[in-house]
Structure 1
Amino acid sequence: MAAAAAPKAGWRGRLERLARPRRPEPLPATLDRRRVYILPTAFGWFFLLLLLAMAVGALNYNNNPALLLALLLAGAANTSLFAAHLQLSGLQVVAIDAEPVAAGKPLQLDVHVRAQPGRTRRGLRVECLDASAVLSLDKDAGTTTLEIPTRRRGRLHPGRLRISTTRPLGLARAWAWAWPERPLLVYPAPEAGGPPLPEGSGDGAQARLHPAGDDVHHLRAWRRGDSRRAIAWKPSARHGTLLVREYEQPLGADLVLDWHDVRALAWEDRIRRLARWVDEAEREGRRWRLQLPGQPALGPARGAEHRHACLRALALMPEAGGGDVGPR
């Protein structure tokens, strides 16, 4: 299931399809002079009309100082076009990365840019999927973060990255495109409510440290905020320092989160419930195994990497009707 930006319609969309690059490309991507485009801004068009009026008036009245002023302003404007072009020429989009989030939450997309040393580049604007941010390179590298809205689970193709500037005088806008081929990942949105975790099964009984458990696991040094009831006074007196009892609480056997156990729900609701159970199992420190149709079981395990693997598998499940599995 992939989420992609809708193609722009009209003349602007047709022009963008003709611009370089014309297809996704691996990073790093260098913005050379053939990929930099430049056009006057609204203020630039006004300035151009003003210069034409000054030049026509100076020629009509044979006013050499006014003609000289018009030519000097035209030279400054022409120089600003080269300066705007040089702000982008030679830039290199090194990489993009983002931590996956649940659908509906904004995705923080980090764009890493590098430039040739020796030239300060400020006031650059990076745009992607209707999100924009300002980027300044004081040395030879910089990073900016775009907040991209997400709506659907699955792969999110960022599409074209546009880097633009109107510096130094605001008379023209120079821009260039980068088109990363690497998609981003959006987790499924977990179910807002619902039944608790299913009972564990198998022989993998687990235990975790808990301040109000049943059995003492070990003694540790006292930390600020520990309850006085947890202090082991006799061992503390023997060692000359405060020691605190650390308990353990049994958690039961490994969890089995099976796709077929939630077959009474609609397709997307199954995915959302399993995503919530994965988050709850991770918060409680449980070990779990995720079983999805047509895929090898994930786990049993626990931890951030196992959670990511399970949520990624759920995010990349096909859409409803793409191979549903009936009762076993």
Structure 2
Amino acid sequence: MSVLGGLASSLWLRILAIAERRLPALTRLRQPESLPILLNRRRIYVLPSMFGIGMATLLVIMQLGALNYSNNPALLLTCMLAAATWMSLFAGFRTLSGLALKGVTASECHAGGMMQLEFRFEGGERMRSGLRLNCADVSTAFCAPAHAEQRVLMAIPAQKRGWWRPGRIRAWTDYPLGMFVLWSWLNPDLAFLIYPQVEPSPPPLPGNPSHGQGVPAPGREGDYAGLRDYRSGDPQRQVAWKASARHGSLLVRETEGQVDENLFLSWNALAHLDHEHRIRRLAAWVLVADAAQLTYTLELGNAQIGPASGTAHRHACLRALALIPDAPE
């Protein structure tokens, strides 16, 4: 039974693909659209499901048998089942009609990981149950409450760095009886940036040419350099309790090993690595330097980003690395 079900599902998908290619009404929604996107009756399509086709066949056989044997109760039952099946089509249509996609946001992610997409739907004046959403071969089910926004989360594999477009998103339902499949296409004009994949175990940060020495890692023992405000994760043994009591806030003793130096993360210095490996190495160093709250400069050929530090600088560096053209073949 499972094999027959798989063959039937595969055949059905092929029929839908052929219909989309042949029928202009199904392919007219391929152009990107600005948000919000409202689903109306002109963009909702319907076809009977495999279960619906089987039910229709059964109803035809029941009707022929009732007429052949002049069985009025059987004829009445057949008509009632046919009416319920037909009304389920309108119930499903009302589920999709009026649904609005208000916005789409994505979380920060790196190639090889998962991008968390958040869709914001608005149901309008009535509750909508049994909705499904398909995006990039990932499917999820949700309901849209009346007079409120519904946030739908989907985890999409981030396969390659650079700009990524969701493409056409399929919103569909077989509510309430599964007799009909109703669907519509959403094609928001959006693109999300996927940052480069990060090297799993990068070597230590490179030395600073202007100082002629390496950059020590935070927390390493060294000569006393001063006091700074406490940061989450600092060991208690480095807290200057007496000085903290005088100033009314936690202060931490900082050694020379923790003083920020101006790092130079250079593309040309990694000439011994291949194109993508260079990008992964630099992305890993950017994250390490940012976690250590160091000031650093990213040099990509003739372009230079920094020196700076902080979240905005990290995003600028990762963005530049993500948009580096692919290596020529």
Q: TM-score range by the shorter chain?
A: 0.7 to 0.9
From 249, 253, 277, the equivalent of 2:255 is 249
Q: Percent identity?
A: 38
Is 1:232 aligned with 2:241? yes
Question: Against the structure 1 CA distance between its residues 28 and 71, is the aligned structure 2 distance closer, same or farther, given a 3 Å change threshold?
Answer: same
Matched to 2:79, the amino acid is: L
From 11, 17, 40, the equivalent of 1:13 is 17
Is 1:123 aligned with 2:130? yes
Is 1:261 aligned with 2:269? yes
Q: Secondary structure at the match of 1:101?
A: coil
Number of residue pairs matched by the alignment: 305
Q: Is the 8 A contact 1:100 1:186 kept in 2?
A: yes
Q: CA separation in 1, counterparts of 2:20 and 2:158?
A: 23
Coordinate RMSD, CA, aligned: 3.1
Q: CA separation in 1, counterparts of 2:173 and 2:221?
A: 59
Q: Is the 8 A contact 1:98 1:108 kept in 2?
A: yes
Q: CA separation in 1, counterparts of 2:280 and 2:270?
A: 11
Q: Secondary structure at the match of 1:297?
A: strand
Residue of structure 1 equivalent to 2:60:
52
Cα drift, residue 165 of structure 1: 1.0
Q: Is the 8 A contact 1:216 1:245 kept in 2?
A: no
Is 1:184 aligned with 2:188? no
Residue of structure 1 equivalent to 2:95:
87
Is 1:298 aligned with 2:305? yes
Q: Is the 8 A contact 1:208 1:249 kept in 2?
A: no
Q: Is the 8 A contact 1:190 1:275 kept in 2?
A: yes
Higher strand share: 1
Question: Against the structure 1 CA distance between its residues 267 and 209, is the aligned structure 2 distance closer, same or farther, given a 3 Å change threshold?
Answer: closer
1:259-300 CA distance string (max 9 Å, x none): 111122111111111111111111111111112235x42111
Q: CA separation in 2, counterparts of 1:80 and 1:300?
A: 63
Cα drift, residue 82 of structure 1: 0.5
Is 1:217 aligned with 2:227? yes
Comparing 63-72 with 161-170, which one deviates more in the overlay?
A: 63-72
Q: CA separation in 2, counterparts of 1:87 and 1:288?
A: 53
Q: Is the 8 A contact 1:207 1:248 kept in 2?
A: no
1:123-178 CA distance string (max 9 Å, x none): 21111111111111123321111111122111122111111111111111111110
Unaligned stretches of 5+ residues in structure 1: 1-8, 323-328
Cα drift, residue 235 of structure 1: 7.7
Cα drift, residue 65 of structure 1: 2.0
Residue of structure 2 equivalent to 1:133:
140
Is 1:199 aligned with 2:203? no
Higher helix share: 2
Give the alignment's TM-score, normalised by structure 2. 0.82
